[in-house]
Chains A and B, each alone.
Chain A
Amino acid sequence: MVLNNIEKLLEKYENGETTLQEEQQLKSYFSQETVAPHLEVYKPIFAYFLVNEKEQFTKDVPLKTKRTFNYTWISVAAVAVLFFGFYFGSPFSQEPSKEEQQMAFNQFKEAMQMVSSNLNKGTSSIGYLESIGKGTESVNYLDELNNPIQRIFK
């Protein structure tokens, strides 16, 4: 590019009148190895701009997915539970067969027998209450105390 042209562009540039395209021309002129000596000062300026265009943001952004995400999964879970209930719930609503009734009765009987036999065991362990009766007998000597008292009253 003609030097004269560059000087004109620089003047426009410093007045804030250049277009983006003209600024691009300046950048490419000053990225050459050698530039006109009296314009040397502009070289690091445009080099600085070019270098800084390339700097990148390298950190991650921790994007938290909230609310919307949870609601979707909660509704999915709710539907799953409902279907589970419909599917496995139906057998219980049917009338039990006679065998099942008999089996249930037998189980109930067995259970009640177990309860009663255990109750009997329980009562035997309450036998120690008799010894309390013995205790009360030995307190009977207190009656003898009454004898002297009666004597005094006589």
Chain B
Amino acid sequence: MTQPQIMTQTEFLHIVMPFKDKVFRLAKRLLVSREEAEDATQEVLLKLWNNKTKMSEYKNVEAFSMTMTKNFCLDKLKSKQAQNLKIVHSNYQDHNVSVQKQVELNDSLDWVGRIIEDLPEQQKMVIQLRDIEQYDYDEIAKMLDMNPTAIRVALSRARKTIREKLTNTHSYGIK
């Protein structure tokens, strides 16, 4: 007699644990507000939980979840395009630098965040998935449904834009 396997909460959390932060960070990259990113993450994880019987059919649950997050957030953005979103910046610590330097660094890190925020959505996602989450190109291609060449192009544009804008805002002396 074959009995359908019932996934327990513990088993589910065990599967989801390694990438739940990545889901959250991608959501935050797109939605900016921390609360909205938290809500989106909950939503994505609940959807996974409700479809847990199908979960064994997915080849790559992590990639599937990231795609789901992308779609959920882009839909959310579309439905509230006119509204202004609250800007929440991440906290971070760096114990090795002096207070004065940390204040400066704080400021320039904030600038990087703001510059990325102004990038087109596709470039934001590519930067998030590559430079922050360190996925390889094939994985990103699967998640965003793009070909690897398009990903490289988007990534190159985004990286150059960030450097150029940061140079302008801070008038760093380059060469």
**Which A residues are closer than 8 A to B by beta carbons?**
13-17, 20, 23-24, 33, 37-45, 47-49, 51-57, 59, 61-65, 68
With an 8 A cutoff between CB atoms, is B38 at the interface? yes
With an 8 A cutoff between CB atoms, is B134 at the interface? yes
- Quick check: A37 and B173 within 8 Å, CB to CB? yes
- Quick check: A33 and B96 within 8 Å, CB to CB? yes
**Chain A, residue nearest B166 (CB):** A41
Give the contacting residue for A17; candidates B42, B45, B152; CB below 8 A. Answer: B152
**Chain A, residue nearest B152 (CB):** A16
Least Cβ–Cβ distance between A46 and chain B, in angstroms: 8
State the CA gap A113–B45 with chains docked (Å): 73
- Quick check: B105 and A41 within 8 Å, CB to CB? no
- Quick check: B46 and A49 within 8 Å, CB to CB? no
Bin chain B's interface residue count: 35 or more
| A57-B38 CB under 8 A given contacts A48-B109, A52-B132 | yes
**Which B residues are closer than 8 A to A by beta carbons?**
6, 9, 12, 20-21, 23-25, 28, 38, 41-42, 45-46, 49, 90, 92, 94, 96-97, 105, 108-109, 111-113, 130-134, 136, 151-153, 155-156, 159-160, 162-163, 166-167, 170, 172-175
Additional 5 contacts, C-beta under 8 A, given A47-B105, A55-B90, A57-B21: A16-B155, A53-B132, A53-B133, A57-B24, A63-B12
- Quick check: A14 and B160 within 8 Å, CB to CB? yes
- Quick check: A38 and B163 within 8 Å, CB to CB? no
| A51-B24 CB under 8 A given contacts A14-B160, A16-B152 | no
| A47-B24 CB under 8 A given contacts A54-B92, A57-B38 | no
Give chain A residues whose Cβ lies under 8 Å from the Cβ of B49. Answer: 61, 63-64
| A42-B9 CB under 8 A given contacts A52-B90, A55-B21, A59-B38 | no
Least Cβ–Cβ distance between A89 and chain B, in angstroms: 29
- Quick check: B163 and A41 within 8 Å, CB to CB? yes
State the CA gap A56–B162 with chains docked (Å): 24
Give chain A residues whose Cβ lies under 8 Å from the Cβ of B111. Answer: 44
- Quick check: A44 and B42 within 8 Å, CB to CB? no
Least Cβ–Cβ distance between B63 and chain A, in angstroms: 16
**Chain B, residue nearest A59 (CB):** B38
**Chain B, residue nearest A58 (CB):** B38
Give chain B residues whose Cβ lies under 8 Å from the Cβ of A23. Answer: 130-131, 134
- Quick check: B134 and A48 within 8 Å, CB to CB? no
| A38-B132 CB under 8 A given contacts A44-B111, A45-B162, A48-B113 | no
